[in-house]
Structure 1
Amino acid sequence: MNEAGLAADSRLDAGLPLRRLKLLDLTVARAGPTCVRHLADWGADVIRIEPPRTGGGEVGNRDGFDFQNLHRNKRAIELDLKSEKGKEIFFQLARDADVIVENMRAQVKFRLGVDYETVRRVNKRIVYASISGFGQDGPYGHRAGVDQIAQGMGGLMSITGEPGQGPLRVGIPIADLTAGNLLALAVMMALFQREETGEGRWVHTSLLEAQVFMLDFQASRWLLAGEVAKAAGNDHPTAIPTGVFPASDRPITIAASSPRLWGRFCQALGKPDWVAKPGWDTGEGRSKDRLAINQAISDVTREKSSLHWIEVLDEAGIPCGPINTIDQTFADPQVQHLGLARPVEHARLGPQRIVGTPLNMSGLEDRIRRPTPDAGQHTDEVLGALGYDAGTIAKLRADGII
């Protein structure tokens, strides 16, 4: 990239809170890239390091919807970390980096010689961030882990689905995504502390830890009350009524469990007598008579359209909404207002829309600044900044180092 191009590129990051950060991205799959995506979206200069394609390094469909959504706002280089010359280049980059993120199997970074303690010898300010399947050590520390395994081992599948119909995975990779989100938070905490100490640290989490953490009140229900939660389907496990109910055209979801909301809900449905009905006049009673209450509500709601009930219940201050398919979600006027489908122009693939960041900061526009880079797109640019001339770069490429 020429000087004018570099200047234009840097202007894209102007004013963003993380624009001073330099980050090396060694991530694969989804959990690690989810962490990096947060930091890249808010201005970090991310260099994604991938194995050279000549060595069979590229995996999956780079042009597909998943890869394109995960790796925007980055630069990309190809570098063989198994070679001594490749590691030499890596450590040149690491000397000036603020953050390194990886989610290889726990022992791989040590075999490659790019682990935290090794990097720290050349850069004590580095914040080194890791995600593994089950933790960096312990009886399962050596094991490979993917999202669905964590959903099962972390208890989530046992409480998902209809009662009596067996375990069910959640329809998104929630352990991957949560681990990535939590690691981004840990990175920011370590950077904040570095301002005081002048030194970085190793921060890490795992799919299993993230999934157990996400059990939240279902976990504390066991730890503090000794209750083992079971699958409750679309019903909230403790707050009644909260669930999915039929309308004449499509289902809707309603939450009216508190005493105040229950009274308003009964009035809105034209059933004021339910408020004082024995057994339905307390939260405990409604929980015990869940099936009968759900049936009574369904008998009323199925008589009119979803739009009718959403308007009536919204007027009464009752949380409610339609059950949208994904296309209906992105057609929803509130989702469109929030700008969650963000446009970006890819030089080779053309115009795209990808999922925007859910974070908002006053005075800052959270647009997608750069599309996902092609493999090795910025290798020459990054090595040139390190002082490598064109001849040396050509030799490295011929040798399969880049």
Structure 2
Amino acid sequence: MADPRTTSSGPLNGVRVLDLTRVMSGPFSTMVLADLGADVIKVEEPGVGDDTRQWGPPFIGEESTYFLSINRNKRSLAVDLKSEGGRAAVLELARRSDVVVENFRPGVATKLGLGYEALSAENPGLVYASISGYGQASSESRKPGYDPMMQARSGLMSITGDVEGLPARVGVATADISAGLWTAIGILAALHHRSVTGQGQSLDISLLDAQVSWLTNVASAWFASGEVPGRYGTGHPSIVPSEAFRTQDGLLMVAAGNDAMWFRMAGALGVPELSADARFATNASRVSHRDELRSELEKVLSSDVTSTWLNRLDAAGVPAARVNSIGEALTDPLLAEREMVVELEHATVGPVRSVGSPLKLSATPTTMRHAPPVLGQHTIDILREVGLDEDLVEDMIRRGQASDHQARRPQEPSHA
């Protein structure tokens, strides 16, 4: 009988993804697909694995929390792609896969014999996604791409941070995560196209492109006016008030997205006269007089605790939220209600918690089947699936061209 923890009932059940990625963008993308039910086989270098296995502290036991955060629901195959046996195994998997995802530097996959042209010749329906810093064939394609460079070059950093301070990097890898999401979206679109036509295709996802896509309304404003946007701290360039204010015991984020909401907000704060002031009567005038309005609201909100203001603003239907620490956010009861914190049993370190999937599908929900794998946890099982000779598998393990976690476990004492 199938183990319900590892059997998928998601919308991508039956889709096999060969994951040749590492670090953040690719693994995040393939975890999205795995949560949706795909069988994701993560190919890693024997004895080393994904770079993020060494990124720490913090660690849980010997496992990096960074790696654990983006690799659940996957199987780990540890083979040396530079060895004949390792390449043969991966080529056979590619023939049997629906999707390949890689984030080598452009040209590396082709040199390994794992580029789109080679693999699609054997598997015409293959969907092949490549993630790189600057695109597969651009004038800068060979440059290494890392998230902070993308936040800087895209302009995102220039509009992030305190008004009078230096530009700031967003505290998570926004370019990587965005590229991962765009990759997953592109793969789903390509799989739909294949279901209609039978044809696979390649995807070229750039970290820089993904980060620039975040500019949206900021870019539109610059296209129209040519004015270079500045930094607004927690504020908004075109909506006022929309920022964090200090209370007696913390910070409160408020946002009045239209004039009616502002009138309700002023009433809830006990200062209805502010909404009648000509300087603050319309959003356009509030934007022009943001400093004066901020000063007035700071006086009011600093006079009481956050919970008092939250209760009043919630009752008035005005968007407001406490500025939480990460710990406060992750223990918010609403996240538990929304199943946004999940716990899975890891092969060596026991229960591991991670952020759940925001995808809530009514008929084919995401599934949390198993924790991120130990390096090489599924090597022998996967090599058997593709029909490799048992002697060849053992020889690869002896030579260090493959590794299997089970093969390295100490033997259980005999009770015979």
What's the TM-score, normalizing by structure 2? 0.91
Q: 1:47 — aligned with what?
A: 41
CA distance in 2, matches of 1:52, 1:332: 40
Q: Partner of 1:388: helix, strand, or coil?
A: coil
One-letter identity of the residue aligned with 1:299: K
One-letter identity of the residue aligned with 1:48: K
One-letter identity of the residue aligned with 2:42: R
360-369 vs 293-302, which moves further: 360-369
Choose the corresponding residue for 2:24, options 10, 26, 30. Answer: 30
Q: 2:137 — aligned with what?
A: 137
Offset at residue 276 of structure 1 (A): 2.1
Q: Partner of 2:22: helix, strand, or coil?
A: coil
Offset at residue 23 of structure 1 (A): 0.7
Over 3 Å counting, the alpha-carbon distance change for 1:214 and 1:195 in structure 2 is same
CA distance in 2, matches of 1:290, 1:140: 42
Q: 1:276 — aligned with what?
A: 276
CA distance in 1, matches of 2:152, 2:160: 10
Q: 1:229 — aligned with what?
A: 229
Q: 1:212 — aligned with what?
A: 212
One-letter identity of the residue aligned with 1:50: E
Deviation string 1:144-187 (CA, Å, 9 cap, x unpaired) is 01000000000011000112312111111111001001110000
Tell me if the contact between 2:357 and 2:366 (Cα under 8 Å) persists in the aligned partners: yes
Offset at residue 57 of structure 1 (A): 5.2
Q: Partner of 2:72: helix, strand, or coil?
A: coil
Tell me if the contact between 2:8 and 2:38 (Cα under 8 Å) persists in the aligned partners: no
> Which consecutive unaligned segments of at least 5 residues does structure 1 have?
none
334-343 vs 247-256, which moves further: 334-343
CA distance in 2, matches of 1:58, 1:152: 26
Q: 1:73 — aligned with what?
A: 73
Q: Partner of 1:254: helix, strand, or coil?
A: strand
Offset at residue 14 of structure 1 (A): 4.2
Offset at residue 355 of structure 1 (A): 1.1
Offset at residue 15 of structure 1 (A): 2.4
Matched, 1:343 2:338: no
Paired residues for 1:76-155 under 5 Å: 76-155=76-155
Q: Partner of 1:345: helix, strand, or coil?
A: strand
Q: 1:17 — aligned with what?
A: 11
Paired residues for 1:239-318 under 5 Å: 239-318=239-318
CA distance in 2, matches of 1:386, 1:138: 36
CA distance in 2, matches of 1:27, 1:160: 29
CA distance in 2, matches of 1:326, 1:219: 30
Offset at residue 367 of structure 1 (A): 4.3
Tell me if the contact between 2:129 and 2:203 (Cα under 8 Å) persists in the aligned partners: yes
Q: 2:401 — aligned with what?
A: 401
Query: Sequence identity, in percent?
Result: 37
CA distance in 1, matches of 2:88, 2:15: 22
Offset at residue 336 of structure 1 (A): 2.0
Tell me if the contact between 1:356 and 1:367 (Cα under 8 Å) persists in the aligned partners: no
Tell me if the contact between 1:266 and 1:274 (Cα under 8 Å) persists in the aligned partners: yes
CA distance in 2, matches of 1:146, 1:91: 28
One-letter identity of the residue aligned with 2:24: R
Deviation string 1:331-362 (CA, Å, 9 cap, x unpaired) is 21212211211011113101111111111111
Offset at residue 107 of structure 1 (A): 2.0
Tell me if the contact between 2:346 and 2:371 (Cα under 8 Å) persists in the aligned partners: yes
Tell me if the contact between 1:131 and 1:179 (Cα under 8 Å) persists in the aligned partners: yes
CA distance in 2, matches of 1:193, 1:78: 32
CA distance in 1, matches of 2:209, 2:349: 38
Paired residues for 1:186-201 under 5 Å: 186-201=186-201
Tell me if the contact between 2:106 and 2:132 (Cα under 8 Å) persists in the aligned partners: yes
Offset at residue 392 of structure 1 (A): 2.2
Tell me if the contact between 1:286 and 1:293 (Cα under 8 Å) persists in the aligned partners: yes
Q: 2:3 — aligned with what?
A: 8
CA distance in 1, matches of 2:289, 2:32: 44
Q: Partner of 1:130: helix, strand, or coil?
A: strand
> Which consecutive unaligned segments of at least 5 residues does structure 2 have?
55-61, 403-416
Tell me if the contact between 2:36 and 2:367 (Cα under 8 Å) persists in the aligned partners: no
Q: How many residues align?
A: 394
Tell me if the contact between 1:125 and 1:198 (Cα under 8 Å) persists in the aligned partners: yes
CA distance in 2, matches of 1:118, 1:387: 21
CA distance in 2, matches of 1:399, 1:333: 51
One-letter identity of the residue aligned with 1:378: H
128-137 vs 331-340, which moves further: 331-340
372-381 vs 388-397, which moves further: 388-397
Offset at residue 398 of structure 1 (A): 2.0
CA distance in 1, matches of 2:365, 2:351: 19
CA distance in 2, matches of 1:373, 1:165: 42
One-letter identity of the residue aligned with 2:3: A
One-letter identity of the residue aligned with 1:193: H
One-letter identity of the residue aligned with 1:228: V
Tell me if the contact between 1:52 and 1:79 (Cα under 8 Å) persists in the aligned partners: yes
Tell me if the contact between 1:91 and 1:122 (Cα under 8 Å) persists in the aligned partners: no
One-letter identity of the residue aligned with 1:387: G
CA distance in 1, matches of 2:49, 2:235: 46
Tell me if the contact between 1:245 and 1:301 (Cα under 8 Å) persists in the aligned partners: yes
Offset at residue 16 of structure 1 (A): 1.2
Over 3 Å counting, the alpha-carbon distance change for 1:352 and 1:100 in structure 2 is same
59-68 vs 128-137, which moves further: 59-68
Structural RMSD (CA)? 1.5
